[in-house]
Structure 1
Amino acid sequence: MNKRAQGGVLAVLLLVGIGVGLFLMRGRDTHSLPSPPAPTAQVAKPPAPAVPAPPPSVPSRHAAPLRLVPAATSSEDMRATHGAFEGRVVSATTGEGIAGAELTFSSDRGGASSIRTGADGRFRFLPGAPGTYQLAVVTAQGYLPFGPEWGESPIRLTATEGHRISDLVLALTPEVELLGKVLSPDGQPVAGARIRLLTGRAGESVLFPTADGFTSDSAGEFRFHAPEGAQVEARHPEYTSARAEVTPSVALSRRMELTLGRRTGALEDGGTRATGTEGLAGRVVDSRSAPLPGALVSVRTAARAYPAVFGDPMGYEALTDGEGRFTVEGLEPGTYDITAHQMGLAPARLKDIAAGRKDLTLILAEGTKLVGSVRDAASGAPISSFSVSVMLKVGPLQRESFTQLSFIDAQGHYALAGLPIGSYVVQVAAPGYAPAEAPVEVPDGASSPVRADFALSRGARLTGRVVEADDSQRPIAQARVSVEGTLDTGALSVRFDALSDTKGDFAIDGLPPQEVSLYVAAEGHHSRVLSNVRARPGTVEPLVIALRKTKPGEEPQVELVGIGAVLAARDDALVLGQVVEGGGAAEAGLAVGDSILRIDGVSVVELGFAGSINRIRGPENSRVVLSIRRGQAGDAGTGPGVDVPVTRRRLQQ
């Protein structure tokens, strides 16, 4: 397999029978509630109200949420000498089987095996030996491929003698052409801009073997194929660069805009580095001080500096050379957080580093292994397919996403390697079950695995119908209904979603009995975010969701009721990173740098990040009382809070 194939990231809706995660791996703070996608990924556009900010983070390697599907089943089969895995590859939009799709499974012992689906999309993988396998590659003509970095697939399968796991479902996204447009700061088309599709590896394509480089034409336009979650970057020597994400709204409208910024500093070095005068350099080594070539080094504005941002909000990346050395140039003066990653080792972090340092050393150690089992709370039987998310506790409210993997194991076992010393929250989700979490401590000098076992209880069901917002109330088929932030999982948010059928009906199972927010979108319609929706056990009156049609030539927008502020967790508070004009926060005199300590008298630490966002949202023109600690840009402030009533307003993005 060539380097490009190995360097791709997930470009599918991967159902894997677990219905949770292809997980939005976008960062490391506590923005566990994904922000409602923008209709166009325009850099200069105001963000949606009361949504988490994109604080400094490690860039995305895997993207795209999953639709919830029935759980995989495990059964004894003595004919399965080394175990067996059966399932289907289907279209993410129609659910129909895809014939001739090729699946490649790699063994942790080395080697790989490939199989193809039959006419109905069904496959059967018979491992050559028991052990752990990764789903390495899935491709099919006319569909975006699944191809995470070789050896770093988020899907792990354990082959056990005499056990067959069935009903795995892999959903590939159809390859749809998107239209991009590059604009100047004044809104004029920019010709000759260079465009790249990006992944978390410096300079590598997000897809394979899809084209990843383009040039805008005289109208500033370019055409491309990319999955949801892909990052698109535009550069031009006369402007600063712009990046945007292929959000669900972009995928529906099939249009994206990137607005370049005004250049105030020196020219970029060949158009590949951001404007600035400072640099950072150093080495990445292992615990024996041996150099580590090919390690990924990410540099982002220091999380402690939020809401201040230095240089490119997307951050900077570099790969270490044969001597483990790295250099990141073109930084603006300021403080940065630096992270080094390499598969199989615990990542290393340096925080609050001033630009200009050239003597940095990041040590990647072996780390500690996390192991455990996942079982049904009622029967004690193992759950054979589930997702495990690990977050580092940074502060009372602040969590840093560490990793998230999906496991398919007849015994319900899982194992994660490379956890450094620290305090963590481990969360587990499985189809049909309410998610659960547990605290985990990795002490200094830990030599044996740390264990976290889970017993999951059946979750609640949410049903509803999506209809036209007119007198006809006609059902809307193929509308996508996503549950935001069902777990406090930081950037690795587990997302449950469903597609409405021909009657407009949808159902999502396995939700915790708590208030959630829904993002609802359909082609040719404006999207909506509904807050304070409660999933309950038992029979509940279906929810009716009405979407407005877009008019000819009208761009789809996202409708949301909130206070009009971009928020991010920092220590024990939610810090305002931006205040949207016309929103309730602006009306109440809130400003960038202010911190929210309590919502209607309840501490944001007690509510958690997702719970706080849901509590802030509410009915249009209703009021919420926020306890505010005054600050300023670059300084979140200290001291007690002052109660400020804020009116929720309907805004569109």
Structure 2
Amino acid sequence: MDRKRTLGLLAIVLVLLGALLLVLRGRGGEQEPQAPRTGSTAASTAAPTQTAKETPPRPKPAHTATALPTRLVPATYAERSTEANGAFEGRVISATTGEGVEGAELTFAGSGGATSARTDAGGRFRFVPYTAGTWQLAVVTARGYLPFGPEWGQSPIRFTAVPGQRISDIVLALTPEVELLGRVEGADGQPVAGARVRVLTGRGGESVLFPTSDRYTSDARGEFRFHGPEGAIVEARHPAHASARAEVTSATLLARRLVLKLGGHEGTEATPPGDASLAGRVVDGSGRAVAGALVSVTSAASAWPRLYGDALGYEQVTDEEGRFTVEGLEPGSYDVTARLMGLSPGELRDVAPGRKDLVLTLGQGARLVGTVRDAATGKPMSSFTLAVLTKRGPLQRVPFAQLSFIDARGHYELAGVPAGSYVVQVAAYGYAPSETHVEVPRNTLGTVTADVSLGRGAKMTGRVVEEGSNLPLERARIAVEGMSGEGALSVRYDALTDAEGHFTLEGLPTGQLSLYVSAEGHHSRIISGIRVGPEATAPQVLELRKTEEGEEPQLDMVGIGAVLAPREDALVVGQVFPGGGAAEAGLVTGDGIVRIDGRPVVELGFPEAIQSIRGVENSKLVLGVRKASAPGTEGSPAPIVDLTVTRRRIRK
């Protein structure tokens, strides 16, 4: 299933939201955060400590499990102020309670140095830059919360200080550090001691300043305790069993428990041990070493539906000599990419583990610039998230860069964009996402402009209740699937219910969407087929099944029961789940879905195609399927057949 994977398997790092905390409270009565007043206790407590022209020492890069804060809330329009270089004001809150976080420290990096601000008892902070221009939000830390600290100078959060302009009501929501209990079991349900466990997040470069433990061994009860953000993959291996993997979902975080069930012993491990490595250097166009570049190793795109290694990939940061070593790889084929902000990436495809001589070259590229405005008023948006995707084929989009900007002028700039075709997507809280297509010609080193206007999105209200009893569920989470946390940074289209189970979602695009719903003590659900119109959508009543004592939370959804990925003109089938409609109809790994109820998937696009495949339980759809090549028939034209598939309820 493609939950939270529309643009690829990426974990959430930091996300821009809106000026109101109400999205976190489901309109449950939380008030707008107030900026600290000049001369007040709050203002003096939160005032930044200037450390101009001092740059923190660069820590030794490490491949670690990511410690991830979640979501930044965009501010309202900029206001005039008397500060010579502008100012930024806001709050740091808990992502789970909406309460202010006292003593959180924010470090901003600018040209020539850094400065910091600390929150007061209400979580308020005030940042007054000592120079105008671009500042990066470099570090955010708070006791009891997951920290944010990418490689110094490589933060994807940009604050632009404009003289005489103040941006208020910025809200950063940090994720509490939750300890999870893991349990490794055999196929018979008995605990397995001595299993090797890894927490895989694929975002090693986002937590370079704060290395955390990512390897464990199960004890005599098969248990281990760990910290892992939502979206992390936990992998367990034991020489007497086949390996197992499980995802840390929101339901996992609520239950604070994760079970990994190993497969039966077949004489050898089903998955070879991950003991291979790749090593090499990253250089610029002149052959000089590039330090601090983020090297990503992922299963080769050309190998799909075969997936090698960790689904989230592996990451490492180059040292002062531009060298890197990525360890723990399984045999297979990988794509290797090196990135550094301001330079175009270097890439090597279909690389086999074991090589130590890789050289990835970073180039100059073009500058992509533009202004984001409110479509109705023409005013610049002071806060938004920008995602740039490389177009590869009619359906496939590969994330190139994702940044968040807080700028009174509504301006963005992205350097190091190589020649190619791109989709530029922009999102801001309360606004429907918008996108535009951009072509960067060959040998372009100048400026390419792409301006974007955002219109107000639709609103959806509803209520989450317990199935059977109809009791309201407080603090249930509702997230728009495929729009909640795509990539390293994005606007969150989600909400938490109030005491009566009520919630409000805003800024939604019109059309069909799916909701991911979860609550403590209940099974999660993906509810599909919800249509959003230009005006207010009819209130939704969402039901969740209660978990019985000792029962592990599951995810319920309705679909065909297959993992799909866009490739060329088709959705190519990866895994097929037993008991699902896809298995019943005879779909197998490698088949390509080219039509859905007569409409080509290239016409629908990937998100709409996925929504069309989902629907009401036991309803049917007709899929035009290009069958996978049978052994010995490679190179021959593949037949396309129409298969009637029944949508089934799937529990995972």
Q: Give the TM-score taking structure 2 as reference length.
A: 0.83
Amino acid aligned to 1:421: A
Residues 44-90 of structure 1, C-alpha deviations (whole Å, 9 max, x = no match) = xxxxxxxxxxxxxx9996867659x674331111x222111111111
Alignment-derived partner of residue 288 in structure 1:
286
**What secondary structure is seen at the aligned counterpart in 1 of 2:171?**
strand
The 5 Å alignment of 1:43-122 reads 66=71, 71-77=75-81, 79-107=82-110, 109-122=111-124
- Of 112-121 and 180-189, more deviation after overlay is shown by 180-189
CA deviations on 1:148-177 (whole Å, 9 max, x unpaired) are 333222221111110010111111222322
| Amino acid corresponding to residue 274 of structure 1 in structure 2 | G
C-alpha change, 1:424 and 1:196, in structure 2 (3 Å) is: same
Question: Is residue 507 of structure 1 aligned with residue 504 of structure 2?
Answer: yes
Structure 1 residue 130 corresponds to structure 2 residue 132 = yes
Structure 2 CA distance for aligned equivalents of residues 645 and 426 of structure 1: 36
Match of 2:648 in 1: 649
What's the counterpart of residue 409 of structure 2?
Answer: 411
Q: State yes or no: 1:569 paired with 2:566.
A: yes
Q: Return the alpha-carbon distance in structure 2 between the equivalents of residues 97 and 339 of structure 1.
A: 39
Q: Deviations over 1:512-570 (max 9, x none)?
A: 11111100000011111111112223333211111111111111111111111111111
Distance in 1 between residues matched to 2:327 and 2:175, nearest whole Å: 37
Question: Does the CA-based 8 Å contact 1:291-1:324 persist in structure 2?
Answer: yes
CA contact (8 A) 2:301 2:335 kept: yes
Decide whether aligned partners of structure 1 residues 119 and 298 sit closer, same or farther in structure 2, where only a CA change above 3 A counts.
Answer: closer
- CA, structure 1 residues 86+339, in 2 after alignment: closer, same or farther (shift >3 Å)? same
Greater shift in the superposed pair: 555-564 or 88-97: 88-97
Residues 403, 492 of structure 1: 8 Å contact kept? no
CA distance in structure 1 between the partners assigned to 2:88 and 2:311 by the alignment: 42
**Partner amino acid, structure 2, of 1:442:** V
- In structure 1, the residue matched to 2:586 is 589
Q: Which residue of 2 aligns with 1:48?
A: none
Q: Is the 8 A contact 1:13 1:92 kept in 2?
A: no
Q: How does 1:331-410 map to 2 (within 5 A)?
A: 334-353=332-351, 360-410=358-408
User: Which structure 2 residues correspond to residues 420-435 of structure 1 after superposition, within 5 A?
Assistant: 420-435=418-433
Letter paired with 1:516 = L
**CA positional deviation for 1:241:** 6.2
Q: What's the CA shift for 1:243? A: 5.1
Q: Is the 8 A contact 2:295 2:337 kept in 1?
A: yes
Alignment partner of 1:258 is 2:245: no
- 1:97-156 superposed Cα distances (whole Å, 9 cap, x missing partner): 22222222121x032212121222111111111111122222222222233333222221
5 Å-filtered alignment, 1:196-595, equals 196-200=198-202, 208=210, 212-234=214-236, 244-259=246-261, 274=274, 282-310=280-308, 313=311, 315-316=313-314, 320=318, 323-326=321-324, 334-353=332-351, 360-470=358-468, 472-486=469-483, 495-595=492-592
Measure, in 2, the Cα distance between the counterparts of 1:488 and 1:127: 29
Superposition map of 1:157-168 within 5 A: 157-168=159-170
Contact 2:436 2:450 in 1 (8 A): yes
Amino acid at match of 1:106: A
Per the alignment, do residues 128 and 441 of structure 1 end up closer, same or farther by CA in structure 2, a change over 3 Å counting? same
Q: Give the drift of 1:510.
A: 0.8
Give the stretch that moved more between structures: 569-578 or 325-334: 325-334
TM-aligned CA deviation for residue 328 of structure 1: 5.7
Tell me the residue number matched to 2:623: 626
The answer to whether the 8 A contact 2:434-2:454 is kept is yes
The aligned counterpart of 1:192 is 194
Q: How far off its partner does 1:593 sit?
A: 0.7
Q: Is the 8 A contact 1:195 1:232 kept in 2?
A: yes
Contact 2:14 2:489 survives alignment (8 Å): no
- AA partner of residue 89 (structure 1): V
1:436-491 CA deviation, whole Å, 9 max, x = no partner? Answer: 11111121111212111011111111111111112x42211101000012499678
Is contact 1:11–1:144 with CA below 8 Å preserved after alignment?
no
Q: Which residue identity lines up with residue 547 of structure 2 in the other structure?
A: T
Q: Deviations over 1:24-52 (max 9, x none)?
A: xxxxxxxxxxxxxxxxxxxxxxxxxxxxx
Task: Give the Cα separation in 2 of the matches to 1:219 and 1:421.
Answer: 55
CA root-mean-square deviation? 3.4
Shift of 1:266: 10
SS in 1 for 2:610: helix
**Contact between 1:422 and 1:441, CA under 8 Å: does it hold in 2?**
yes
What is the CA–CA distance in structure 1 between the aligned matches of 2:475 and 2:487, rounded to whole Å? 28
Contact 1:18 1:430 in 2 (8 A): no
> Shift of residue 321 of structure 1?
5.6
Matches within 5 A, 1:599-638: 599-632=596-629, 638=637
Deviation at 1:234, TM superposition (A): 4.5
- Kindly provide the amino acid, as one letter, of the partner of residue 76 in structure 1: R
* SS, match of residue 343 in structure 2: coil
Separation of aligned partners in 1, 2:216 and 2:580: 38
Decide which moves more: 284-293 or 554-563: 284-293
The AA in structure 2 aligned to 1:647 is: T
1:391 and 1:489 in contact (8 A); partners too? no
Contact 2:95 2:174 in 1 (8 A): yes
Q: Distance in 1 between matches of 2:116 and 2:326?
A: 39
After superposition, what is the alpha-carbon deviation per residue over 1:228-266, rounded to whole angstroms, capped at 9, x for unaligned? Answer: 234445455666765544221211111113345769779
Output the amino acid matched with 2:373.
R
1:596 CA displacement: 0.4
SS in 1 for 2:606: helix
Deviates more, 1:240-249 or 1:133-142: 240-249
Fraction of identical pairs, as percent: 60
Deviations 1:401-431 (A, max 9, x none): 1111111110100111221221110000111
In the alignment, the residues of structure 1 paired with residue 318 and residue 636 of structure 2 have an alpha-carbon distance, to the nearest angstrom, of 38
8 Å Cα contact 2:617-2:649 kept in structure 1: yes
- Deviation for aligned residue 1:216: 2.4
Match of 2:49 in 1: none
Contact 2:88 2:126 in 1 (8 A): yes
CA distance in 2 between partners of 1:606 and 1:460 (Å)? 24
Q: Given residue 422 of structure 1, which amino acid in structure 2 is its aligned partner? A: G
8 Å contact from structure 1 (residues 65, 496) kept in 2: no
